[in-house]
Amino acid sequence: MQMSRTASLMLVDMDEFCAEAEAEESHLVELERERLNMQQRRVASAALLEEMAKITEYADPSHTVMLQGFNWESHKAGKGNWYGIVESKVDMLADVGITDIWLPPPSQSVAPQGYLPSQLFNLDASAYGKKAALKSLLKSLHAKGMRGVADIVINHRCGDKQDEQGRWNVFTSTGIESRKSFHGIMDWQGWAITLGDQFSDGTGERGPGHLDGKFDAAPDIDHGNKKVQSSIAIWLRWLRLDIGFDAWRFDFVKGYGAEYVGHYCKKSEPSWAVGELWLDMEYDHDGLKYNQDKHRQDTVNWINGTDKESTAFDFTTKGILQEAVRNTQYWRLKDSNGKPPGLLGWMPTHAVTFLDNHDTGSTQGHWPFPNDKVLVGYAYILTHPGIPCIFWDHICDWGEDMRNRIKALLQLRRRAGIKVDDKVQILCADHDLYIAEIGSPPALRVALGPKHSGVDGSWSPGTEGADYRVWIRASAAA
């Protein structure tokens, strides 16, 4: 079969491109060293678990609390300067106890929310604000000892132009003209898109994604292509070392292989990373099944597939927890082995727990946590192991009382020294009452549900609200 002109040129240029990419990465390594020396932001003195040691600059596990710093409508609310709105709240968020802020996709996008990116290096065409405003926000976060988490959308990419056949599979490097060494890095064509893609007739390998991971709204990227890998790795390092991001949130990871997330983490060395692996849970005629081990096993398999370079959002815990609080079925919060039933019960060091995000909640509301039980949900995830993530709406849009109650829970978590891998001893998981003690030895005690529970004199009152009560060990409270 005759080789196309595009494919032939790609083979000729590949060695030259890879050499340029290697030189650029060496340059970025030097920038990284300078940045680390300047900021002197090192890992806290707390000893890291063996499996956490793979994640460069992992935060002190007792302190990591992420905020999703936007919702589905933030591109409108910000009126072109959402970054400025977030920056104006940095002092307040630091006071509440937030350590990391997950920011929206920063690149130019066909859709204003940022999830249909095209020109990845173009940060001045984002509906959330200009590149200068983003860098100012990240600088303010760093001044408070906080970190910025970039939303990395690399399952798919929208073309800038049509080819001779009218297919949208011509991609450009717009936005990086100021860096000569970057010229052409993001100039892709059909070879960068998975084979047979319905929108662009891609010529790359067929996508290796997870289960139902095909994305129908835009051309799917062929991550098996070495030029694609080098391009994305350089872009990620640029986001870290030039723009100032610290960590990654990988969008729609069921669309491509977990090994590529691991590869990109190793190449770009974020402080940490988290993947959005949103899979369907198991239901029957009675509703959500009690046993969701397959669901969380799929997540564990994905994490292992990244070589444990990335954590994952704990969708298993979200699904079970919201069912438990909505229907007063607190028996769901203990699995058959007496442990928490979500990812945090099996792999807490890599479980990012949450109640809602811009997809499940906000104005989309695809799978919302019950509004009247949000504080019960936070009483669970903010007292338990794992890495908790708080939604913007709950802490910034729902009023001062809600914010103060979340802050009280976070203060107890820190005072008790709860770590990402702490032991959970479940004392009760009945229809209307859940009781657990967290820590080694136990430092927090939490009770959820309408039924009340007493404590002995070794516990001091912490905080409480409708259907939740938290105590702290008296010795820790002193």
Catalytic residues: 251, 276
Round to whole Å and give the CA distance between 290 and 360.
21
If you write DSSP's letter for every residue of 398-461 in order, what string do you get?
Answer: S-HHHHHHHHHHHHHHHHHT--TT--EEEEEE-SS-EEEEETTTT-EEEEESSS-----TTEEE
Asked if 173 contacts 238 with a C-beta cutoff of 8 angstroms, the reply is no
- Which residues, 6 or more positions from 357, have their beta carbon under 8 angstroms from its beta carbon? 68, 313, 389, 391
Tokens of 222: 């062929």
Tokens of 185: 């890095």
- Which residues, 6 or more positions from 316, have their beta carbon under 8 angstroms from its beta carbon? 281, 292, 295, 296, 299, 341, 342, 343
Phi, psi (rounded to 5 degrees) for 138: -65, -35
The length of the chain is: 478
Asked if 341 contacts 333 with a C-beta cutoff of 8 angstroms, the reply is yes
Round to whole Å and give the CA distance between 334 and 188.
49
Continuous H helices in 122-220 = 131-143
